[in-house]
Chains A and B, each alone.
Chain A
Amino acid sequence: MMQLRRSASLQPGVVILLVLFFCVYAGYRSGDFWSALNWQLLAQPLAEAGLVSLGMMFVIATGGIDLSVGSIVGVAAVTAGIAAHHKFSVPTIEAAALAAGALCGAFNGLLIGVLRLSSILVTLGSMILFSGIALALSDGNSFAGFPDGLLWWNDATLLGIPVEFLLFLATAAVAAVLLRYSLWGHYAIAIGSNRVAARYSGYPVALTLFGVYTLQGLLCGMTGILLVARLASARADMGQGLMLMAIAAVVLGGAPIEGGSASVLATVAGVAAFYIVQDGLLLLDVPPFVQHALTSVLLLVAVAVGIILRGNREDRR
């Protein structure tokens, strides 16, 4: 256990160092990089992807994976759109979106935790299923005309920091407490380390997994609300690309994809690294498609370095 934790803490260090070097370079080349506006604009999409990544962190910690997050975000956004269309109050809209997300997550959790099906297969199927449901609910249209109370999530700032980002930080703090101090967090890590041992130890494997995927769904619901608020519209395909980003962020933070290890700080570092580098490349006038390629290279390099560092330790053991 100690071994895992120590080796996992190396990679976020590498990532943070790389990103800091990059920041210095980007700040030197572009005057806008260190401006407050840049960081405000950067913080909002970061918060959205960050929430999904936190859920993905728990999922990957249990040795699973969730491919359906993008579709769940779409379902939640469309649900919010329908609720707004029927002139419901802001808390009702938010509750409906959260409930829709949690329901989708619970569906995954039921199949993966209780029926013991493989997470990658279940969520591959439910990804297609949920995107179909989101499209059917919205009839392929996009919703607009959201009340100001909902758009508050995009407009409001506290001490110059967007509330979206503060919400993300607060959620990350709760996730850290859950992971480190709750029995549930302990179970999740134990299942990822060795599921059979966890079962023989009498841990509630099915219930824990059900909780993990439901939480992931709930966080996707939150992301859906924030996306709707920022773009002032809701569409079924809104969450596209979030799945790959979330998996990449967790892995970039140094969590082994096989599970059994997780760190909130590393996950936050991973997702922040992605968005900071992408934003910096944009300011450096790197062509947009090359940015995409370079962030992928960042993922591969960081993971390869992490594995080489970890590999050396395992060889020594």
Chain B
Amino acid sequence: MSSNSGASARLRLNFHRHETKLAFLLFVLGTALAAAAPRFFSSVNLALLARSMGVLLIISVGMLNVILAGGIDVSAGSILAVVSVVLVRLGNHGLPASIVLPLGLLTGAGLGAVNAALIAELRIPPIVATLGTAGLFRGLLLEWTQGEWESSIPSWLNAVGIPRWGGLDISVLAAALVMLAAAWILHRTQIGRALFRFGDSPLAAARTGISVRQPIYFAYISLGLLTAIGAVFYAAQLGAVQGNAANGYELTVIAAVVLGGADILGGRGSLLGTFLGVLLLCSLQQALVLLHVATFWQNIATGAIVLIGVILSSAPRLHRKFTLQQSPSA
């Protein structure tokens, strides 16, 4: 489900496509792992890998929407923390799942709408607006929790995180559904196409009758909503939450999307790339854990792989700059 899915492009293997390069990187990593740590390909470990990807993939799809629209959101980690605390706190007060879950999703969408309003109505640049709301959401959350842990989670939430189906849990299913829904929305609906056009050139989009506000609201609210969905599984998998949870998580999400080849200037990016980016980041981390590598080497490896992804993804842009062959939407 890539953005430039012309029939001819699909038939021949295009080495200039970012996804191809990513797949190649993954192949190299996989071959190295098969030699160094064959355990990586055991079914238990692959199931663990899939579980660790679920939350990141769900939120990354939302971040892809925002980046496609030419924006950025550094408040996603704060929103993730707010929603997980809301879910767990209200659940622990004895409210049933049928009330808590909609409230949690509504909270996420609402916080996303706050970001969208600041950006669309007050015209605050996205990075500044979300920088501000990240501090605001986090500060209010910490004031609410007073820094205390919620060390137990309600039983229905606990059930969500339990591995079933051969080690997979509901987060894997949810991530798959989110990918399918996003593929349909991004490629088959008016708002999805508007997102690409708007991100490519807001002015040109406005001239063709696309609302200036609608794509912004759609992108940030969808990110808020998907972050809230991610928060359900985040809290369920961790089994405990606190106000400082997911600090800096937004940067991992952005790194995954960028590694997936999305153009930070907007208008370019694909779900397949984002999926491969998440897969690459998560398998790298999983592999380093398996190889008993210290945490700081994980940081070094992650940073290096992000930089490699950035260099790979900008190569075609530099190339295009000189040949001026820009496809309209991809």
Contact with B along A266-303 (1 / 0, CB 8 A): 00000000000000000000010111111111011001
Asked whether, in the complex, the Cβ of B131 is within 8 Å of the Cβ of A115, the reply is no
Name the B residues within 8 Å of A212 (CB-CB).
Answer: none
Asked whether, in the complex, the Cβ of A129 is within 8 Å of the Cβ of B132, the reply is no
Q: Is A65 an interface residue, CB under 8 A from the partner? A: yes
Q: How far is the CB of A79 from chain B (nearest CB, A)?
A: 15
CA distance in complex: A256, B122 (Å) = 14
Q: How far is the CB of B67 from chain A (nearest CB, A)?
A: 11
**CB contact between A124 and one of B129, B133, B139, B254 (< 8 Å): that residue:** B254
Known contacts A128-B255, A258-B125, A297-B132: A118-B310 contact under CB 8 Å: yes
Residue of A nearest to B251 (CB): A124
CA distance in complex: A126, B142 (Å) = 29
Asked whether, in the complex, the Cβ of B300 is within 8 Å of the Cβ of A136, the reply is yes
Contact with A along B294-313 (1 / 0, CB 8 A): 11111111111011011100
Asked whether, in the complex, the Cβ of A291 is within 8 Å of the Cβ of B302, the reply is no
Q: How far is the CB of A35 from chain B (nearest CB, A)?
A: 27
Name the B residues within 8 Å of A297 (CB-CB).
Answer: 132, 136
Q: Is B29 an interface residue, CB under 8 A from the partner? A: no
Q: How far is the CB of A133 from chain B (nearest CB, A)?
A: 6
Residue of A nearest to B307 (CB): A125
CA distance in complex: A67, B297 (Å) = 20
**CB contact between B306 and one of A124, A244, A293, A308 (< 8 Å): that residue:** A124
Q: How far is the CB of B323 from chain A (nearest CB, A)?
A: 16
Within 8 A of A (CB), among B273-330: 294-304, 306-307, 309-311, 314, 318
**CB contact between B139 and one of A134, A293, A308 (< 8 Å): that residue:** A293
CA distance in complex: A117, B263 (Å) = 11
Contact with B along A246-265 (1 / 0, CB 8 A): 01100100001110000000
Asked whether, in the complex, the Cβ of A304 is within 8 Å of the Cβ of B306, the reply is no
Asked whether, in the complex, the Cβ of A125 is within 8 Å of the Cβ of B139, the reply is no
Q: How far is the CB of B215 from chain A (nearest CB, A)?
A: 20
Asked whether, in the complex, the Cβ of A296 is within 8 Å of the Cβ of B139, the reply is yes
Asked whether, in the complex, the Cβ of A303 is within 8 Å of the Cβ of B132, the reply is yes
CA distance in complex: A292, B198 (Å) = 34
**CB contact between A135 and one of B122, B139, B143, B299 (< 8 Å): that residue:** B299
Within 8 A of B (CB), among A123-142: 124-136, 140
Q: Is A122 an interface residue, CB under 8 A from the partner? A: yes
CA distance in complex: A189, B132 (Å) = 26
Known contacts A125-B303, A126-B307, A132-B299: A120-B132 contact under CB 8 Å: no
Q: Is A307 an interface residue, CB under 8 A from the partner? A: yes
Contact with A along B105-124 (1 / 0, CB 8 A): 00000000000001000111
**CB contact between A299 and one of B132, B297, B306, B318 (< 8 Å): that residue:** B132
**Interface footprint category on B:** 35 or more
Within 8 A of A (CB), among B160-212: none
Name the A residues within 8 Å of B298 (CB-CB).
Answer: 132
Asked whether, in the complex, the Cβ of A293 is within 8 Å of the Cβ of B296, the reply is no
Residue of B nearest to A251 (CB): B128
Q: Is A111 an interface residue, CB under 8 A from the partner? A: yes
Asked whether, in the complex, the Cβ of B124 is within 8 Å of the Cβ of A296, the reply is no
**CB contact between B302 and one of A111, A132, A134, A251 (< 8 Å): that residue:** A132
Q: How far is the CB of B117 from chain A (nearest CB, A)?
A: 11
CA distance in complex: A130, B318 (Å) = 27
CA distance in complex: A3, B307 (Å) = 37
Asked whether, in the complex, the Cβ of B124 is within 8 Å of the Cβ of A303, the reply is yes
Contact with B along A128-172 (1 / 0, CB 8 A): 111111111000100000000000000000000000000000000
Name the B residues within 8 Å of A65 (CB-CB).
Answer: 127
Q: Is B140 an interface residue, CB under 8 A from the partner? A: yes
Q: Is A116 an interface residue, CB under 8 A from the partner? A: yes
Q: How far is the CB of B140 from chain A (nearest CB, A)?
A: 5
11 contacts between A and B (CB under 8 A): A120-B72, A121-B258, A125-B255, A129-B306, A131-B303, A132-B303, A244-B135, A247-B127, A289-B142, A300-B118, A303-B129
Binding site for B on A (CB under 8 A): 65, 67, 111, 115-118, 120-122, 124-136, 140, 236, 244, 247-248, 251, 256-258, 287, 289-297, 299-300, 303-304, 307-308, 311
